[in-house]
Structure 1
Amino acid sequence: MDAHHDGCVSPGTLLPTSWILFDEQAFAGEQHVLSEGEYPTLSAMGCFSSTAIRSLKKVPVFFSEPSIFLHGLECFEGKEIELNNEVRSLQAEGFNNHVLSVRVKGGIWVLCEHGDFRGRQWLLDCTEITNWLTYSGLQHVGSLYPIRQRRIYFRIRSRELELYLSVPDDVEDMKAGRVVVSSLSEQSSSVWYYEEGLIKNQVAPNMSLQVIGPAGKGAKAVLWSETRMPRQTWSVDSQGRIHSQMFEDMILDIKGGRSYDRDHAIVWDMAEERPTQIWDIQVL
């Protein structure tokens, strides 16, 4: 299925990932968000029988854990609700469904006009909406849920050095594994995946990317057992910076310099003068 289609989606189409359908061309008009599954009729898609789907696109890949804040007043004032999971009915769950501003901190969310995910829908990624009424025409949210992304594999490439974040192939036999940047080779694995906020390598499914020692400038990042507590999660922003969620303002970086470990992954304060903090995520 193409990412853009100036016609209707055939009922019965199997969607291999999450898609956004629009009733106007050029990704405009009412939105209908469909997760993986089979939809034999327009009503099964949440559409009216008269709806014509005139454009569609995939929900973008994201690397952050779901987090959304709903506020009772404009500009993020008033009573605040923080959510990390779906809510079938804000009112039935005891929340005030009167919403006048929305801030999405992580993940991609679908906000629905009515309970049980019915009515008009809005897909929101990391964004801030100071006036929900102006944005949506509503003063409430009926229900909402985060998109659940299937596992995807990717490489992490340093834009500055044109090298890839990698680990030794035999890392699972070690307590902790070195994480370095290198060219693509058979002696190391550069294939990663994102799971519940953890960055993991395909050759070490029981380990994840973690910072060791005091988390100051230059602290090294290694692969360590995922059972180590507290959990060290990460997010990737639109500029290509990989943020530690545990150590605020710490960004994945490369040590550099002339020492023997100059190729080692570290964390550092966000700094414009350090181009090694910018990574390209290459989905496989």
Structure 2
Amino acid sequence: MKTIGSLHPLKQPMMYFRIKNKATRTFVTVCGDSANPRWSKLSVCSYNGKTTQVWFYCNGLIKSKANYACIDIIGGQGKPGTKVNLWTEHGRNHQKWRINSNGTITSFLDLNLRLDVKGGDFNDKDNVILNMAEEEQQTQFWDIEMLR
């Protein structure tokens, strides 16, 4: 439960969700050691029913239910092709995201940078990355599946 308000705080239940890629029908997933964000990576994979695919949104941060780490732009560099991973919360802009009504998730660093799936034929093809906004790039669109 989170509290909102200052004079008479209200208890609000945490709203959990899954992030599903519209093109690949796969979910943003914490892979590797979910207990330690430094030893994990962020990729997309098929539904697995675990907390490694469950997220919540708090003050611009998208946080993992598995370890409470935040989706973070590696190195804080807002450039196309930069990998996105998990990191402990520090609240800087390279950890903040906008979940938009058009199905995109954009970075506070630059609203033209969207979450995307790397793709291609390499072993890291399922990694989550930043990319420039392209309406025809279907891997840049996501469904937010709310959980009860």
TM over 0.5: yes
1:178 corresponds to which residue? 41
Greater relative CO (CA pairs within 8 A, separation 6+): 2
Q: Is the contact between residue 33 and residue 39 of structure 2 (CA under 8 Å) also seen in structure 1?
A: no
Instruction: Return the letter of the residue paired with 2:136.
Output: E
Distance (Å, rounded) in 1 between the aligned partners of 2:112 and 2:41: 23
Instruction: Confirm whether residue 282 of structure 1 aligns to residue 140 of structure 2.
Output: no
Q: Indicate the residue corresponding to 1:189 in structure 2.
A: 52
1:208 aligns with 2:87: no
**Are residues 161 and 231 of structure 1, via their aligned partners in 2, closer, same or farther at CA, if it must alter by over 3 Å?**
closer
Unaligned runs of 5+ in 2: none
Secondary structure in 2 matching 1:179: strand
Percent of aligned pairs with the same amino acid? 33
Q: Distance in 2 between matches of 1:174 and 1:244?
A: 20
* Alignment-derived partner of residue 48 in structure 1: none
Q: 2 CA distance for matches of 1:212 and 1:236?
A: 19
Query: What's 2:114 paired with?
Result: 251
Residue deviations 1:15-69 (CA, integer Å, cap 9, x gap): xxxxxxxxxxxxxxxxxxxxxxxxxxxxxxxxxxxxxxxxxxxxxxxxxxxxxxx
Return the offset for 1:273: 2.2
d(CA) in 2 for partners of 1:174, 1:227: 13
SS at match of 2:25: coil
Q: Which SS does the other structure have where 2:139 is aligned?
A: helix
Structure of greater Rg:
1
Q: Is the 8 A contact 1:169 1:189 kept in 2?
A: no
- Cα deviations across residues 229-255 of structure 1 (Å, max 9, x unaligned)? 456211111110001012331100000
Partner deviation per Cα, 1:168-207 (whole Å, 9 max, x = no partner): 37322242521100001267711110011100110111x1
- Aligned positions, number: 139
Q: In the superposition, relative to structure 1, how do residues 259 and 199 fare at CA in structure 2: closer, same or farther (>3 Å)?
A: same
Task: Report the Cα distance in structure 1 between the residues aligned to 2:109 and 2:36, rounded to whole angstroms.
Answer: 26
The answer to whether the 8 Å contact 1:176/1:224 transfers is: no
Q: Residue 198 in 1 paired to residue 61 in 2?
A: yes
Q: In structure 2, what is the equivalent of residue 159 of structure 1?
A: 22
Return the match for 2:101 from 238, 245, 248.
238
Task: Provide the rounded CA distance (Å) in 2 between the counterparts of 1:229 and 1:153.
Answer: 22
Q: What is aligned with 1:271?
A: 134
Please say if residues 197 and 235 of structure 1, whose CA atoms lie closer than 8 Å, have aligned partners that are also in contact.
Answer: yes
RMSD: 2.6
For residues 88-126 of structure 1, the C-alpha deviation after alignment (integer angstroms, 9 at most, x for no partner) is: xxxxxxxxxxxxxxxxxxxxxxxxxxxxxxxxxxxxxxx
Q: What TM-score, normalized by structure 2, do the two folds share?
A: 0.83
